[in-house]
Structure 1
Amino acid sequence: MSGAGWTGWPLVALGGAAGACLRYVVDRAVQARHESVFPWGTLTVNAVGSLLLGLLTGSAWGAAGPGAALLGTGLCGALTTYSTFSHETLRLAELGRARAAAANAVVTPVVALGAVWSGLVLVRYLAG
Structure 2
Amino acid sequence: MPFVPTIAVVDDDQAIREAMDDLIKNFGYNSCLFSSAEEFLDFEPRSEIDCMLVDVKMPGLTGTELLAELNRQGDRPPMIFVTSYDDERTRKAALSGGAFAFLRKPVDVGALIACLEAVFDGRPSV
Please tell me the TM-score bracket, short chain as reference. under 0.3
Larger radius of gyration: 1
The structure whose residues are more often strand, as a share, is 2
Q: Normalization by structure 1: what TM-score?
A: 0.27
Greater relative contact order (Cα < 8 A, sep 6+)? 1
The structure whose residues are more often helix, as a share, is 1
